[in-house]
Amino acid sequence: MRFQVPQFTDVEDKVIGPLTFKQFIYLAGAAGACIIAYTFLPFLIAVPLIILLGVFGTALAFYKINNRPFIRAVESFLHYAVKDKLYIWKHEPKPLAEREESKKNAVFVPKLSESKLRDLSWTLDVKESLNPVTRDEDDDFKKFSDINSDKFVKPKLEGWE
């Protein structure tokens, strides 16, 4: 026996024409608010308010930000505006006298470079070049050969042969 598995469960059903129930409620609410504003407010005040209410109702019904309904963005904005904010650190500059005093009493701390790996690599390269076992006499000559090869003669190191 075969059963039919529902597909597209995240799509809302169209109830009233091409609109979902939520979209219809948002548009009907905006239209009702526009009618109330038109009947009870003077015309010059009602027209801009009607335009704002119409745009807001349309945005609630159809506009999405990052594939999320516009009502979620409005909800997040209201939560941010109303709730307390937590400030972890607030910089208050010290007076000049305290700064000079703290510089005098400061303990010298060696400055660390940005990359410990680069420092370690450099240290190993330097120590390897100083090590007589791993040092190659051709490396010494290569350092000078790029400058003026006719002026320099390959050095002879005693005890390296």
Q: Which of residues 144 and 63 earns the better pLDDT score?
A: 63
pLDDT band at 9 (very low <50, low <70, confident <90, very high): confident
Contact assessment for residue 46 and residue 37, using Cβ atoms and an 8 Å cutoff? yes
Which ranges of the chain would DSSP assign to H, the alpha helix?
21-40, 43-62, 70-82, 96-104, 116-130, 137-145
Domain boundaries, the chain: 14-82, 116-145
Nearest to 53 by CA among 35, 75, 69, 71: 35
What is the reported pLDDT for 158? Answer: 63
DSSP result, 103-127:
HHTPPP-PPPPS-HHHHHHHHHHHH
| pTM score | 0.48
| Mean pLDDT, range 71-92, rounded to an integer | 87
Residue-wise pLDDT for 30-65, tens only, equals 999 999 999 999 999 999 999 999 999 999 999 999
